[in-house]
Amino acid sequence: MKLLVFAHVPPPHHGQSYMVQLMLKGFGGDCRKSRNKSGARNIYGIDCYHVDARFSKSLADIGELQIGKVPLVLFYCLQAIWCRFRYGVTSFYYVPAPGKSVALYRDWLVMFVCRPFFKEIILHWHAAGLAKWLETSVQIRTRAVTYHAFKQASLSIVISNYNVADAEKLLPRRIRVVSNGIPDPCPDFRKSILPRHQARFAARAKLFANEPLNPGDLEKTGGDPQVVRVLYLAHCTREKGLFAAAQAVLAANQILSARQSPVRMKLFAAGSFVINEEKAEFDQLLKNPEFNHAVNYLGFVSGAEKERALREADLFCFPTRYIGENQPVNLIEAMAFGLPIVTTRWRSLPEMLPPNYPGLVDSQSPEQIAAALLRLMNERSGETARENFLGRFTIECHLENLARAFHSLETAALASPPAAQNSRTATPRNI
């Protein structure tokens, strides 16, 4: 199957661009750049022709109105149409925008220019909330144009059951649910990470019981089991929960101090600031001695620095209320490293975690988040988080299910008579 992938890869780096990058790599890369002279296909039978439709140079540019983006849209559309005829690609893969007006207008233009040239339109819904936004935040004319641009797509791929509503709103012919997945970032988990988690848990249990620690207790803990290392790894914005996480750690430490506990929490915040005013506010907070003692800003981390932050963490805190949040990669990475997670009951996030998970909070209330952090601090849940990752969110599982969803178009075309091919699948099927 030949697939025209109209989507950008990093930079800028965020969950959607990273997942597109993983998909392209898993399916053998861009066939325009690395033609397989032997004629052999990748194991998934998907040949990708990539148009790197990058409209923003930085995170702050995403979804913002810039005149220079209009010629870029047309330039990328022409590339796609050229690939359609040069390589005989008839399936067009596209990632719709979340509820942002400028991004939606871009989507309209792409669909109106490109859609007439392709037989199959595949929409992959990485962001959530468009359906509700269309109903509550825009005029009826905007809804009508959006329906006209996107309606009756051949296939809508969503990454959670919550996300199904976004796809259903635009009346696709069929829907498939395919969870995200990433390469295992710590295949040595049981050998090098789990023993550290267990040693730190055991040492803290002694500290809570007012028992002294001996050199053997400290051997595998990293030397500071009295510090519960809470990691925030995301774009540093209020909407994503940075400020709520910091205030929650301060609140948790006040509770621990009142209990006369020798244990304290410390937030390690990793990521880039998107809004200058929020960075200035955070820098001002760091001037407060109490805040500065409880919060360590790591800046943007990647590669070995990012891996180290995840390996050394005890808990992961991501109290997001971001409008387009769906199935963030940072939570999947935290699971892979066996980290107990505190996050919000927001959009698709509860679906990522086991039933009745104790780390879910209703809002960005620092008090709720602090209570959840204190609760999880005493639970040995690293193995459970890791098992959830291995069972649901590996790259192998993701690519296999994604390829199956793509090939369902070919299966439907072969199995159905022409008149039936326009019928829509009534019930989404989990893959």
Each residue's pLDDT tens digit, 298-333: 999 999 999 999 999 999 999 999 988 989 999 999
Encoded tokens for 194: 């789990």
- Same domain? For 89 and 199 the reply is no
Cβ within 8 Å of residue 354, ≥6 positions away: 384, 388
Asked if pLDDT for residue 275 goes beyond 50, the answer is: yes
Asked if the model's pLDDT at residue 343 lies above 70, the reply is yes
State the pLDDT at residue 127: 86
Residues 145 and 269 in one domain: no
Which tokens is 113 given? Answer: 């220019």
How many domains are there within the chain?
2
Residues 209 and 162 in one domain: no
| Averaged pLDDT of the chain | 89
Residue 154 and residue 259 in one domain? no
Q: Structural domain of residue 236, as residue ranges?
A: 189-392
- Tell me, yes or no, whether 288 and 143 share the same domain: no
Q: Is the pLDDT of residue 427 over 60?
A: no
Q: Residue 73: pLDDT band by 50, 70, 90 thresholds?
A: very high
Q: What is the 3-state secondary structure (H, E, C) of the chain?
A: CEEEEECCCCCCCCHHHHHHHHHHHHCCCECCCCCCCCCCCCCCCCEEEEECCCCCCCHHHCCCCCCCHHHHHHHHHHHHHHHHHHHCCCEEEECCCCCCHHHHHHHHHHHHHHHHHCCEEEEEECCCCHHHHHHHCCCHHHHHHHHHHHCCCCEEEECCCCCHHHHHCCCCCCEEECCCCECCCCCCHHHHHHHHHHHHHHHHHHHHCCCCCCHHHHCCCCCCCCEEEEEEECCECCCCCHHHHHHHHHHHHHHHHHCCCCCEEEEEEECCECCHHHHHHHHHHHCCHHHHHHEEEEECCCHHHHHHHHHHCCEEEECCCCCCCCCCHHHHHHHHCCCCEEEECCCCHHHHCCCCCCCEECCCCHHHHHHHHHHHHCCCCHHHHHHHHHHHCEHHHHHHHHHHHHHHHHHHHHHCCHHHHHCCCCCCEEC
Residues 167 and 292 in one domain: no
11 upstream amide cis, omega within 30 of 0: yes
d(CA 64, CA 12): 14
Verify that 212 and 344 share a domain, yes or no: yes
Instruction: Check whether residue 215 and residue 75 sit in a common domain.
Output: no
Contact at 8 Å (CB) between 243 and 236?
no
Model pLDDT, residue 425: 43
Mean pLDDT of 400-427: 68
| pLDDT-derived band at 426, boundaries 50, 70, 90 | very low
Q: Write down the pLDDT at residue 161.
A: 92
pLDDT digits over 206-217, tens only?
Answer: 999 999 888 888
Tell whether 386 and 398 lie within a shared domain.
no
Q: Could you tell me the pLDDT band of residue 383, with boundaries at 50, 70 and 90?
A: confident
Banded pLDDT at 140 (limits 50, 70, 90) = very high
Instruction: Give which of 213, 211, 291, 285 is closest to 253, Cα–Cα.
Output: 291
Mean pLDDT of 10-36: 86
Lowest-pLDDT range, 11-15, 38-42, 323-327? 38-42
CB 385 within 8 Å of CB 395:
no
**For 246-264, how does the pLDDT look when each residue is reduced to its tens digit (9 = 90+)?**
999 999 999 999 999 999 9
The least confident of 200-209, 406-415, 421-430 is 421-430
pLDDT tier at 420, thresholds 50, 70, 90: very low
What is the side-by-side strand order in the sheet with 120-125?
47-51, 2-6, 91-94, 120-125, 155-158, 175-177, 429-430
Residue pair 351/372 in contact by the 8 Å Cβ criterion: no
Name the more confident of 101 and 273. 273
- Verify that 264 and 304 share a domain, yes or no: yes
In the prediction, which pLDDT does 385 show?
Answer: 92
Q: How many residues are recorded in the chain?
A: 431
The two tokens of residue 118 are 């392709």
**Cα separation, 411 vs 268, whole angstroms:** 49
Is the pLDDT reported for residue 287 higher than 90?
yes
Kindly report whether the global pTM for this prediction surpasses the value 0.85.
yes
- How many Cα atoms are found within 13 Å in the side-chain-facing hemisphere of 401? 20
Instruction: Please check whether residue 208 is in contact with residue 261, taking contact to mean a CB–CB distance below 8 angstroms.
Output: yes
What's the pLDDT at 58?
52
Together in a domain, 305 and 410: no
Residue 102's pLDDT is what? 86
How is residue 364 written in tokens?
């960005």
CATH number of the domain to which 173 belongs: 3.40.50.2000
Residues 108 and 163 in one domain: yes
pLDDT for 327: 92
pLDDT value at residue 42: 80
What is the rounded distance in angstroms from the CA atom of residue 253 to the CA atom of residue 231?
A: 15
